[in-house]
Amino acid sequence: MAWSRLGRGLGGIALAAGLLLGAGGPATAERVLRIANMGEPQSLDPHKVAGTWENRIVGDMFVGLATEAADGSTIPGAAEFWTVSDDGLTYTFGLREHRWADGTPVTAEDFVYALRRILDPKRAAKYAFILYPIAGAKAFNKGEQSDPAKLAVRAIDLRTLEIRLENPTPFFIDQLTHYTAFPVPRHLVEAKGEDWVKPGTIVGNGPYTVVEWVPNGRITAVKNPLFWDAANVAIDKVVYYPDEERAAVLKRFRAGEIDLATDFPSDQIDWLKANLAGETRISPYLGVYYYPVNNARPPFSDRRVREALSMAIDREAITDKVLKTGEVPAYSFVPPGTGNYGQPAEVAWKALPMKERLEKAKALLAEAGFGPAKPLKVTLKYNTSENHKKVAIAVAAMWKQLGVETELLNSEVKVHYNQLEENDFDVARAGWIADYDDPENFLSLLATTTGKQNYGRYSNPEFDRLLDQAARTADLAKRADVLRRAEAIALADAATIPIYHYVSKNLVSRKVRGWVPNTKDIHRTRWLSLAD
């Protein structure tokens, strides 16, 4: 049966390839990469997007001052070089001589225009906060200061751009690879208004141009011959399918209709390992799956209760027996391998065998006044998903060994996160994927000033002070030390319960060359090629 399906799938591809060739005119083989992108984009405007699936498309169209190499490391992009002043506050960028896909030269003014545009409060860009390290950016975005000239970004000449920062920010260059810092073609945006993003009109300074968007169907981008490195771009056309149904995508991948799937159904992992081992690519990812605990609600405001709950969770059992897709058990909040950091701080009891941990946890609960006569009752909330449910059930069983009575409560994702933001939970499921490769991006979630994003409302003045100190420290090694001390405090306080660190899960066809696993899970099409 599988064979007959495969046969028909291949027939379909042959037919589709034939049609493409027919439409393409000359019969030179057009190299088409077909990506299952796991989401319909909200927009093609880099100032409006917020998701990884959107980044894949927008990042093929635009290149920031710095960009990602095939292995995810940061390399020069639209800027050929840059210099940093001794105090670490002033960056001067020398732009590469290059053009928008319509032939207009890219200038430093385009970058000034783009940064002012995304930070304009009227644009309400969701990710504008990534740019807050730029001097004046926060005040401008908050509307406290409405003169764009006060934003410390200026064009010195056509190809020289200067950006001044509020504090020395060691991850600033890394942030410039993010889509929030992409340039936009000023001439086009001013001429066409909001319609500049329509396929057929939109142009970028990157390797591809989107020419077609069928809502809920597909997005097609073709190679931009004016891209500065076009000679080294091997793929002629990229088709991004928005399909989110993982099981259906796996079927299409097996039928050869998809070359690259950016996720796969976790429950198929045994089958995948047995049958598609070479194409199943799992690698560490900068993200943490954790349970915020409500630090503001008794009895969870008691450190001993939080620590007992955290200690009783057998993380290896969850990653190895429940999830089985290579996730890394988490004993730190910041994922190992995060840049500018080194080894993260870890909980003190990591090395203790499970049996001793349970004894200690029971003792902690007893100290806090809970025992067989008065069991601790916990409501564990999670957003509806098969995997979240499995983890929650396993955790409830582990807590039961402490005599804790757990009630599981699932709700649809919007309702769930609304409850988290409103601090309406005992213990709940949450996750955080890094916006940029720096521990600050994780640890700032636990700062008192973070407000609603600090779901558990953890608050420790010493932690806050260390985070402030790190922000003012230019020396990377010293800064990492300060941040590690902060993380150690949060872990000792059991501010949250880290459970595992994410992995990225891709299906990569054998035909695809140049795909390098990396912790950012960013694989720009310009680095890929297709074998015959």
Residue ranges binding another protein (CB under 8 A):
1, 4-5, 40, 42-45, 48, 50, 121-129, 138, 141-143, 197-198, 213-217, 243, 245, 248, 251, 383, 412-415, 417-421, 431-433, 450-453, 455
Measured from the CB atom, the residue of 240 and 455 that comes closer to another protein is 455
By CB neighbour count within 10 A (0-12 exposed, 13-18 middle, 19+ buried), where does 166 fall? middle
In angstroms, give the least distance from the CB of 143 to another protein.
8
- Residues with Cβ within 8 Å of residue 271, at least 6 apart in sequence: none
In angstroms, give the least distance from the CB of 361 to another protein.
30
SS3 of 300, please? coil
Q: CA-CA distance, 333 to 496, in Å (whole number)?
A: 8
Measured from the CB atom, the residue of 132 and 399 that comes closer to another protein is 132
In angstroms, give the least distance from the CB of 167 to another protein.
17
In angstroms, give the least distance from the CB of 330 to another protein.
18
Measured from the CB atom, the residue of 142 and 377 that comes closer to another protein is 142
What is the dihedral sign for C-alpha 308, 309, 311, 312?
A: positive
In angstroms, give the least distance from the CB of 268 to another protein.
14
* Beta-strand pair 280-292/430-433: antiparallel
Measured from the CB atom, the residue of 42 and 85 that comes closer to another protein is 42
In this structure, are residues 286 and 292 in contact, taking their beta carbons and an 8 Å threshold? no
In angstroms, give the least distance from the CB of 198 to another protein.
7
In this structure, are residues 82 and 126 in contact, taking their beta carbons and an 8 Å threshold? no
In angstroms, give the least distance from the CB of 7 to another protein.
11
- Residues with Cβ within 8 Å of residue 515, at least 6 apart in sequence: 70, 260, 281, 506, 508, 523, 528
Measured from the CB atom, the residue of 261 and 480 that comes closer to another protein is 261
Measured from the CB atom, the residue of 420 and 470 that comes closer to another protein is 420
Residue burial 95-118, b: 16+ Cβ < 10 Å; e: rest: bbebebbeebebbbbbbbbbbbbb
In angstroms, give the least distance from the CB of 157 to another protein.
32
From residue 260, how far is each of 53, 268, 299 by CA, in Å?
13, 17, 48
Measured from the CB atom, the residue of 82 and 129 that comes closer to another protein is 129
From residue 133, how far is each of 89, 376, 446, 471 by CA, in Å?
10, 44, 19, 10
Measured from the CB atom, the residue of 117 and 304 that comes closer to another protein is 117
Measured from the CB atom, the residue of 128 and 522 that comes closer to another protein is 128
By CB neighbour count within 10 A (0-12 exposed, 13-18 middle, 19+ buried), where does 458 fall? buried
SS3 of 289, please? strand
In this structure, are residues 336 and 344 in contact, taking their beta carbons and an 8 Å threshold? yes
In angstroms, give the least distance from the CB of 148 to another protein.
15
By CB neighbour count within 10 A (0-12 exposed, 13-18 middle, 19+ buried), where does 471 fall? middle
